[in-house]
């Protein structure tokens, strides 16, 4: 017994004693299998991000001969994974100043990869059919009037403001409080749940108020109109507790692992050059989410039709 | 206390003296405290929370004999046999094997004892279900570090000896109870121990199979003459197998003697009640039933029977000839038995408490008692005088 | 006889129970009478007083910052955790490369041959078909990734579990220390394990593997200890009587005697590892779980199912094969001589290698894409049809959305506001009362302390919210489960029909049915409850049916001979005699429901589940960890409160 214990301790010491191991520089075990050059991309859970990744993946595989692994990670953890090199790139980031400060500026483990070309915007939306019936609903000041129509069992006596995935940037709780609205924020917990719920509402032509963002393919299926919140001014969202203004318009960014950016060769170059428009992205998203094409098929379709766009990205 | 000691037949295989086993908190104090030792079991438990399973037991097991410990469940007999090889650690007392102190043994020496000198057969067999019959039998040898081919060869011999040829590759689960116990017996025999300890080995078996197994033990004993300590709760089994029987009750030995002594001269009412149903004519010998020949003519006529013939056999002879039978030993007429005397034995009215001579060490196999015994066996708590008498008897 | 027994049971036992229960109640009432005024005077009643909470967000936030800042420099990480992490990656990679090198044909052949050797021809066929199905669904590579991760995680769990079990099996003191820990770990929702490992190892395979090991090792440890301790004392005594040393006793007797438990432990470990491997996709496990998770994001039930089916198949195959191996070892099949067995194994190995090489030479190492079957579309159509027709406006019955609405308004809301409206100390007393009436004062104490801990952590309200969902879901589960269980116990046909359904639902990753549930019940707590019911139902049905079927047939027979009707038999004989099984079903139901109600945070269940998801998503470990600990506490409360004095031996399902 004692002999075995000694052996185990010895093995541990041997294992740990023979040098430092930096687990922040560590690739996925599934990467580069069978001698292929592999790029690992982070996919966020929303479909726009899937569209970016699908097209990049298609080009990397078919034009440059890489093998692409995708990992679905939420935004903040994705930054962490990116800094450790477990993923090589994030293609769509909605702005995480804290992480940027830490990883890009301080630790320099992440490099900025340029604009995606798409501008993102978060806001509150009501379905267009409802906005047409009640045009004044599109101003936040009138929202309380409609609270009773927007009630659900989940929101209790108040109107329901449907929020999405916990990974999304949201000030809605503070907004409802600070604007003194008769609403209850209900978190769908995931974008999938939120979309499903929105489509069910739309099918029944029921009114609803939801946190949503553009670009998003869902607008093609369920036309929605934004509700005007107090206008955004620089710094008005500095204190998350006291926010009482709209969300900003954000040019979406790409980020690359710093090592990958330096040594990633053609793949890194392609990902840095990758830049397309909101319409392009929506086209692919819609194929994925609504026509239920696999991301690969959707990407193939788009690539076949937009050669001029992507030719420019190739190194 | 008067111990039954052996002076004549050399060093006894096991010699037990003043053995106590007490279960419970601070068990040590019980044997040491005369006030506590005097208490009845129930009282002891309520006073101290302790249970005395074995109380001040002393006996010797002589070389080559079958020593039976008999008692009802809870009488402490199984605990007693486990104390012999310290499977259960005794609380106090002395145990010696071939004169060597068992309680003083260190672990290696004790293992040595268990590996080579005393092996045990268990009521519930204790076989390893994942091993074949052969490997179960060879297990004891494996423990000793015997090489695979050798231990298998030896195991094969023993398997044949207990009548299990052809079943070597079966698992215990595929055997009947009797066959499993043969495996248990073979496992114990395979290590060629000096003593075999049996802990109620046949009580879990069907009556017919039990009889087979008992005969198997008798046969083995006759062939090999190995010393055996046999625990049972079955009086008939005890009478059939035992050269000497220690009858236990509440942890004490209430009587120790040959089957004939136990049946013929119960030490107390408990023993008497116990042996009441025993067919006495099959246990008692004519030596007990005979009287001195009344006349010379009587001593010269009638069928001759040996002194160790059972009463039932004598009845047959007497009934056939219609005359009393002569008890003849080496051509000398010791006495006669007539139908009245024989009937007295069957009816239990025969006095049967004649003094002397005492039984000699039972070397011959049962069921026929080797040497007739007439004397009442002394209970363990006998007086010194009686103990001396018994010791003297052994010298005959 | 049964007719005699049953009434005595009913009159005798409850009578006794009532006395003891009354005494306990009186004692508690006394304690309440003394404590409440004190407590009421000191702190406000109503919700948990602020004075008694501890704000952990500050230190936790600092800790997580520290870890992130020091992960690439501190010796603890460089010289220990880094090696652990690298070793995991290395092992997973090695297994993965081997699997890829074997190709689909080689892996399928090897798996089938192993199944054939340990479990027979039928299992082999099933295994082969299952692997082919994974390929047909277009999931070959993810399946191999999951398999690689599983192999490493299960091996590590088994080694760790067996070592712990060995320690606990041989030493009483270790056993006393380990047992409550292991018992507790088994009732905790898988989600609660994710955050701590992410905190240390970051997102990725190492974290996923380690979380899986932590989750899957306890059953192995428990069953190893149980097996070692439960060895037939008669056999051990016999072994000792032959002069075996302690080591010989262990190696030649205790371990072989515990083989049944060891294999059961392996079986449970595999099942738990598989379910965790899916959940761990949230922290970057990759493989099948990730496919399910990604499909979830695009609301693609069909795709989720395509990735879920291989998981179910893997689970069923692994379960059956290890189960059959256990039965075979435990049984008394004729012993193969060592040589012929080795020969067969060798033959199997050669055959597998031959198949792999042949496929490789034929250029068929990767699963041919043309062979893939797309099941996503038909499934999605079916789901669409279902939601379109059931969601609302069904005549007379109302739609599922209406049911969900009513359920939320009439059950969940009152329950939640009721719980949250109770003064905090009365909740504690309630917990104490229930736990003590069912269990011992120890369980009651643990339950109360755990409940209080949620308050101290500052998540009293969300905890009660989660609790209300659990209670509602458990009630629904039990009503449905007992009814179905009784039906299954009374009719062989029903049971035969149910069995595959139960198998599938028990092994299907919970993620797969979250979306259909949302489609049917909308967003909110109702779908979380529905998903929990779906998940917990199979175990409850199974245990109930089993318990009822195992009722002593002699008792039933004598009841029948006295002319009892079917209903009388059920009510007077079967149900009372199956009481332990029913209690176990309740306990299991509660534990499983909690696990899914937490995951319900993904579909609007809110409360603690949302906090954990939020913590994971935002990397906000303060929120996530506090919620995770609160879930642990809630799990403890629920387990202890429903724990009959006799502890279950084996956890069913995952």
Q: A touches B (3+ CB pairs < 8 Å)?
A: no
User: Is the confidence at residue B219, as pLDDT, over 80?
Assistant: yes
* Residue A285 Cα, gap to closest chain C Cα (Å): 10
| Chain A contact set for C307 (CB, 8 A) | none
Examine the domain organization and report whether A213 and A287 are in the same domain. no
Q: What is the pLDDT of residue B355?
A: 35
Report strand pairing: A110-127 vs A249-257. Answer: antiparallel
- B162, B189, B158, B156: which is closest to B175 by C-alpha? B162
Residue of A nearest to C514 (CA): A193
Task: Tell me, yes or no, whether A176 lies in a domain.
Answer: yes
CA-based nearest residue to B300, from B276, B333, B252, B323: B333
Mean pLDDT of A299-303: 90
C376 contacts in chain A (CB < 8 Å)? 292
pLDDT at A19: 58
pLDDT digits 0-9 by tens, B75-123: 888 899 999 889 889 998 999 998 889 888 888 898 888 888 888 998 8
A130 and A245 in a single domain? The answer is yes
Among C604, C190, C609, CA closest to A191: C604
Q: What is the pLDDT of residue A207?
A: 87
**Domain residues for A132?**
121-250
Q: Is the pLDDT of residue B370 over 80?
A: no
Mean of the pLDDT values across residues A78-89?
Answer: 83
| B35: Cβ contacts below 8 Å, ≥ 6 apart | none
When pLDDT is cut at 50, 70 and 90, the band that residue B245 belongs to is: very high
* Count of Cβ atoms closer than 10 Å to residue C333 Cβ: 12
A156/B174: higher pLDDT: B174
Band of pLDDT at residue B358, cut at 50, 70 and 90: very low
Residue A20 within a domain: no
**Co-location of A151 and A209 in the same domain:** yes
Query: pLDDT at position A179, please?
Result: 86
List phi, psi (to 5°) of A155. Answer: -90, 0
Contact C286 A153 (CB under 8 A): no
Q: In terms of pLDDT, which residue wins out, B233 or B299?
A: B233
Q: Pairing mode, if any, of strands A183-187 and B66-71? A: unpaired
Q: Report H helices in chain B.
A: 29-32, 34-37, 41-48, 77-84, 107-112, 133-137, 139-144, 148-161, 177-190, 207-224, 235-241, 259-264, 269-275, 286-289, 296-300, 311-321, 339-347, 384-394
Query: What pLDDT, on a 0 to 100 scale, did the predictor assign at position B363?
Result: 37
Contact at CB, C234 and B125, closer than 8 angstroms: yes
The CATH number for A56's domain is 3.40.190.10
Say what the pLDDT of residue B361 is: 39
Clarify whether residues A113 and A219 are in a common domain.
no
Query: Three-state SS for C15?
Result: helix
Q: At what angle do helices C376-390 and C301-330 cross, to 10 degrees?
A: 110
Domain tally for chain A? 2
The nearest CA of chain C is from the CA of B167 a distance in Å of 11
Answer whether B171 sits within 8 Å of C240, measured CB to CB: no
Question: Does residue A292 register a pLDDT over 80?
Answer: no
- Buried/exposed code over A200-212 (b: 16+ C-beta within 10 A; e: otherwise): bbbeeebbbbbbb
Q: Are residues A155 and A263 in the same domain?
A: no
- CB within 8 Å: C242 and B127: no
Positions of chain C with pLDDT under 70:
1-21, 39-47, 51, 72, 77-78, 297-299, 326-341, 361-373, 376, 391-398, 644-654
Calculate mean pLDDT across residues A188-195: 79
User: Given an 8 Å threshold on Cβ–Cβ distance, is A24 in contact with C202?
Assistant: yes
Q: Among A201, A232, A250, identify where a domain stops.
A: A250
Look at residue A270 and tell me if it is in a domain. Answer: yes
C-alpha radius of gyration, chain B, whole number: 23
Pairing of strands B66-71, B244-249: parallel
- Nearest by CB to residue C297, choosing from A79, A152, A191, is A191
Residues in chain A with CB shorter than 8 Å from the CB of C293 are: 45, 72
Asked if C250 reaches chain B (Cβ–Cβ under 8 Å), the answer is no
Residues A217 and A290 in one domain: no
Question: Which structural domains are found in chain B, ordered by start?
Answer: 14-275 (3.40.50.300), 285-349 (3.10.580.10)
Inside any domain, residue A2: no
Contact C332 B173 (CB under 8 A): yes
Residues from chain C contacting residue A154 (CB–CB below 8 Å)? 408, 522-526, 604
For residue C605, the model assigns a pLDDT of: 77
- Whether A115 and A261 map to the same domain: the answer is yes
Q: What 8-state DSSP symbol labels residue A245?
A: S
Q: Tell me the CATH number at A152.
A: 3.40.190.100
Q: Note whether C334 contacts B144, CB cutoff 8 Å.
A: no
Question: Considering only residues 134 to 163 of chain A, which have any Cβ-Cβ distance to chain C shorter than 8 Å?
Answer: 152-154, 156, 162
Q: Is B98 left (phi over 0), alpha (psi -120 to 50) or beta?
A: left
Contact of A189 with chain C, judged by CB distance below 8 Å, is answered with: yes
A255 and A111 inside one domain: yes
A140 and A227 co-located in one domain: yes
C251 reaches B (C-beta below 8 A): no
Provide the mean pLDDT of chain C. Answer: 78
Q: What is the mean pLDDT of residues A252-272?
A: 87
Neighbours of chain C (3+ CB pairs under 8 A): A, B
CA distance C177 to chain B (A): 24
Domain end marker among A250, A280, A299:
A250
Query: Considering chain B, what percentage of its residues have pLDDT values greater than 90?
Result: 10
CA C458 – CA C445 distance, rounded (Å): 20
Q: Is residue A261 part of a domain?
A: yes
Q: Does A97 touch chain C (CB under 8 A)?
A: no
Chain A residues with CB under 8 Å of C72 CB are 22, 24-25
Nearest to A29 among C72, C205, C290 (CB): C205
- Residues in C closer than 8 angstroms to A187, CB to CB, are 604, 606, 610
> Please, what is the angle between helix C57-70 and helix C621-641, to 10°?
120
Question: What pLDDT, on a 0 to 100 scale, did the predictor assign at position C650?
Answer: 39
CA nearest to A12 within chain C:
C80
Is A30–C93 a contact, with Cβ atoms under 8 angstroms apart?
Answer: yes
Question: How confident is residue B374, by pLDDT bands cut at 50, 70 and 90?
Answer: very low
Which of C119, C122, C115 lies closest to C348 in space, CA to CA? Answer: C115
Chain C interface mutation, best of A70, A82, A190, highest count of C Cβ atoms under 10 Å = A190
Q: B127 to chain C: which residues are within 8 Å by CB? A: 235, 238
Within 8 A by CB and 6+ apart from B219, the residues are: none
For residue B228, list its beta bridge partners: B66, B196
Residue A26 counted as domain residue: no
Interface contact flag, A154 C523, Cβ < 8 Å: yes
Share of chain A above pLDDT 70, in %: 89
Indicate whether A51 and A156 sit together in one domain.
no
C-beta atoms of A77 and C619 within 8 A: yes
**pLDDT recorded at residue B384:** 39
Same domain? For A57 and A73 the reply is yes
Classify residue A95: in a domain, yes or no.
Answer: yes
Mean residue pLDDT across chain B: 79
Residues of C in contact with A162 (CB under 8 A): 523
C261 contacts A3 by C-beta, under 8 angstroms: no
B336 touches chain C (CB under 8 A): no
A127 and A216 inside one domain: yes
3-state SS string for C450-488: HHHHHHHCCCHHHHHHHHHHHHHHHHHHHHHHHHHHHHH
Enumerate the H helices of B228-289 as residue ranges.
235-241, 259-264, 269-275, 286-289
Subunit contact C89:A29, Cβ cutoff 8 A: yes
Is A131 part of any domain?
Answer: yes
pLDDT tens, position by position, A196-216: 788 888 888 888 889 988 877
Q: What is the pLDDT of residues B339-357, one digit of tens each?
A: 888 888 877 776 544 333 3
> C-chain residues within 8 Å CB-CB of B124?
234
The secondary structure of residue A246, as a DSSP letter, is P
Question: A31: distance to nearest CA of chain C, Å?
Answer: 9
Structural domains present in chain C: 399-549+580-646 (1.10.3720)
The predicted pLDDT at position C159 comes to: 92
Q: Which residue of C has its CA nearest to B185?
A: C238
Compute the nearest-CA separation of A69 from chain C (Å): 9
- Mapping DSSP to helix (H, G, I), strand (E, B) and coil, where does residue A67 land? strand
């Amino acid at each position: 017994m004692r002999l075995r214990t000694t052996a185990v301790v010895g093995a541990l010491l041997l294992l740990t004693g023979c040098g430092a191991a930096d687990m922040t520089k560590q690739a996925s075990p599934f990467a580069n299998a069978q001698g292929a050059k592999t790029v690992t991309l982070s996919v966020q859970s929303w479909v726009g991000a899937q569209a970016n990744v699908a097209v990049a993946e298609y080009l990397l595989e078919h034009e440059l001969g890489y093998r692409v692994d995708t990992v679905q990670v939420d935004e903040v953890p994705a930054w962490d994974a990116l800094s450790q090199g477990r993923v090589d790139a994030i293609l769509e980031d909605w702005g995480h100043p804290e992480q940027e400060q830490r990883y890009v500026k301080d630790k320099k483990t992440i490099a900025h990869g340029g604009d995606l070309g798409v501008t993102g915007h978060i806001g509150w939306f009501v379905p267009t059919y409802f906005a047409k019936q009640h045009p004044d609903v599109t101003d936040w000041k009138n929202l309380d009037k409609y609270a009773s129509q927007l009630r659900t069992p989940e929101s209790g006596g108040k109107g329901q403001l449907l929020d999405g995935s916990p990974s999304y940037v949201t000030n809605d709780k503070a907004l409802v409080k600070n604007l003194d609205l008769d609403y209850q924020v209900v978190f769908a917990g995931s974008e999938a749940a939120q979309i499903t719920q929105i489509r069910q509402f739309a099918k029944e032509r029921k009114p609803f108020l939801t946190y949503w963002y553009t670009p998003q393919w869902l607008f093609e299926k369920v036309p929605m109109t934004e509700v005007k919140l107090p206008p955004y001014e620089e710094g008005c969202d500095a204190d998350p507790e006291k926010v009482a203004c709209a969300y900003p318009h954000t040019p979406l960014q790409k980020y690359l692992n710093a090592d990958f950016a330096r040594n990633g060769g053609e793949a890194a170059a392609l990902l840095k050059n990758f830049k397309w428009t909101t319409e392009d992205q929506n086209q692919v998203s819609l194929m994925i989410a609504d026509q239920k094409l696999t991301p690969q098929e959707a990407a193939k379709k788009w690539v076949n039709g937009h050669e001029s766009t992507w030719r420019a990205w190739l190194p | 206390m008067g111990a039954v000691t052996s002076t004549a037949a050399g060093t006894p295989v096991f010699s037990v003296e003043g053995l106590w086993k007490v279960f419970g908190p601070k068990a040590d104090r019980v044997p040491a405290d005369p006030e506590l030792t005097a208490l009845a079991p129930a009282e002891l438990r309520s006073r101290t929370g302790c249970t005395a399973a074995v109380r001040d037991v002393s006996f010797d097991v002589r070389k080559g004999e079958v020593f039976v410990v008999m008692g009802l469940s809870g009488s402490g007999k199984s605990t007693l046999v486990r104390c012999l090889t310290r499977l259960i650690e005794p609380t106090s007392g002395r145990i010696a094997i071939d004169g060597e102190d068992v309680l003083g043994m260190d672990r290696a020496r004790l293992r040595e004892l268990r590996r080579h000198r005393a092996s045990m057969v268990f009521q519930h067999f204790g076989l390893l279900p994942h091993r074949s019959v052969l490997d179960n039998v060879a297990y004891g040898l494996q423990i000793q570090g015997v090489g695979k081919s050798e231990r298998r060869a030896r195991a094969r011999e023993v398997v044949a000896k207990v009548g299990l040829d052809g079943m070597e590759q079966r698992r215990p689960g595929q055997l009947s109870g009797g066959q499993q116990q043969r495996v248990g017996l073979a496992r114990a025999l395979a290590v060629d121990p000096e003593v075999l300890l049996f802990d109620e080995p046949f009580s879990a078996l069907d009556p017919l199979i039990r009889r087979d197994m008992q005969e198997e033990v008798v046969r083995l004993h006759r062939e090999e003459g190995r010393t055996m300590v046999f625990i049972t709760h079955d009086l008939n089994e005890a009478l059939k197998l035992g050269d000497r029987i220690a009858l236990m009750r509440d942890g004490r030995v209430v009587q120790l003697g040959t089957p004939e002594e136990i049946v013929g001269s119960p030490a107390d009412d408990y023993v008497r009640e116990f042996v009441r149903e025993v067919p006495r004519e099959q246990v008692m010998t004519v030596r007990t039933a005979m009287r001195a020949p009344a006349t010379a003519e009587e001593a010269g006529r009638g069928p001759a029977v040996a002194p160790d013939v059972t009463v039932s056999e004598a009845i047959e002879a007497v009934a056939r000839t219609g005359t009393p039978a002569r008890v003849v030993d080496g051509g000398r007429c010791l006495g006669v038995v007539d139908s009245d005397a024989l009937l007295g034995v069957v009816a239990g009215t025969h006095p049967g408490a004649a003094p002397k001579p005492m039984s000699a060490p039972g070397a011959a196999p049962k069921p026929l008692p080797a040497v007739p015994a007439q004397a009442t066996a002394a209970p363990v708590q006998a007086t010194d005088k009686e103990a001396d008498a018994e010791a003297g008897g052994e010298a005959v | 006889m049964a007719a005699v027994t049953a009434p005595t049971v009913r009159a005798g036992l409850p009578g006794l129970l009532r006395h003891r229960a009354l005494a306990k109640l009186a004692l508690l009432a006394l304690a309440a009478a003394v404590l409440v005024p004190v407590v009421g005077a000191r702190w406000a009643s109503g919700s948990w007083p602020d004075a008694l909470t501890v704000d952990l967000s500050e230190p936790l936030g600092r800790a997580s910052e520290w870890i992130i800042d020091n992960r690439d420099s501190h010796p603890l990480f460089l010289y220990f955790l880094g090696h652990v992490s690298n070793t995991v990656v290395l092992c997973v990679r090695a297994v993965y490369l081997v699997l890829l090198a074997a190709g689909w044909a080689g892996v399928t052949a090897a798996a089938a041959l192993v199944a054939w050797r340990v479990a027979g021809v039928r299992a082999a066929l099933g295994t082969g078909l299952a692997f082919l199905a994974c390929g047909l669904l277009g999931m070959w590579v993810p399946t191999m990734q999951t398999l690689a991760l599983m192999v490493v995680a299960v091996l590590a769990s088994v080694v760790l579990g067996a070592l712990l079990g060995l320690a606990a099996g041989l030493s009483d003191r270790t056993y006393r220390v380990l047992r409550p820990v292991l018992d507790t770990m088994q009732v905790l929702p898988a989600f609660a394990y994710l955050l701590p490992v992410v905190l240390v190892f970051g997102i990725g395979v190492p974290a996923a593997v380690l979380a899986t090991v932590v989750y899957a090792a306890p059953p192995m440890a428990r069953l190893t200890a149980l097996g070692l301790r439960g060895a037939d004392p008669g056999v051990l005594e016999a072994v000792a009587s032959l002069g075996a040393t302690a080591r010989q006793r262990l190696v030649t007797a205790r371990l072989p005697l515990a083989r049944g438990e060891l294999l059961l432990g392996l079986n449970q470990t595999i099942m738990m590892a598989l379910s965790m491997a899916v959940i761990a996709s949230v922290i970057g496990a990759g493989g099948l779980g990730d496919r399910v998770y990604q499909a979830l994001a695009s609301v693609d039930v069909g795709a989720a199912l395509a990735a879920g089916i291989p998981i179910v198949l893997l689970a069923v195959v692994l379960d059956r094969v290890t189960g059959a191996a256990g039965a075979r070892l435990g049984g008394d099949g004729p012993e193969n001589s060592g040589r012929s067995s080795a020969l067969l194994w060798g033959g199997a190995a050669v055959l597998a290698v031959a198949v792999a090489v042949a496929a490789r030479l034929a250029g068929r190492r990767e699963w041919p894409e043309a062979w893939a079957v797309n099941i996503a579309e038909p499934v999605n159509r079916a789901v669409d049809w279902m939601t379109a027709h059931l969601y609302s406006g069904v005549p007379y019955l109302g739609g599922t959305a209406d049911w969900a609405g009513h359920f939320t308004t009439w059950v969940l809301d009152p329950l939640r506001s009721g719980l949250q409206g109770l003064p905090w100390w009365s909740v504690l007393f309630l917990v104490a009362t229930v736990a003590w009436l069912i269990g011992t004062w120890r369980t009651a104490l643990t339950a109360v302390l755990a409940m209080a801990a949620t308050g101290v952590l500052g998540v009293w309200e969300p905890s009660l919210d989660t609790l209300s969902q659990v209670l509602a879901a458990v009630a629904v589960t039990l009503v449905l489960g007992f009814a179905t269980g009784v039906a299954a116990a009374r009719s062989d046909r029903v049971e035969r029909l149910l069995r595959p359904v139960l198998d599938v639902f028990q092994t299907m990753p919970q993620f797969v049915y979250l979306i259909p549930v949302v489609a049917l019940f909308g967003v909110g707590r109702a779908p979380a409850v529905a998903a929990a019911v779906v998940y917990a139902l199979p175990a409850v049905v199974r245990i109930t049916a089993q318990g009822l079927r195992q009722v002593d047939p002699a008792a039933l027979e004598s009841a029948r001979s006295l002319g009892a009707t079917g209903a009388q038999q059920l009510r007077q004989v079967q149900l009372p005699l199956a009481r332990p099984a029913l209690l176990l079903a309740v306990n299991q139901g509660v534990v499983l429901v909690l696990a899914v109600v937490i995951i319900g945070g993904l579909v609007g269940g809110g409360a603690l589940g949302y906090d954990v998801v939020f913590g994971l998503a935002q990397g906000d470990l303060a929120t996530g960890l506090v919620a995770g600990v609160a879930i642990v506490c809630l799990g403890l409360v629920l387990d202890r409160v429903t724990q009959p004095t006799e502890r279950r031996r084996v956890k069913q399902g995952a």
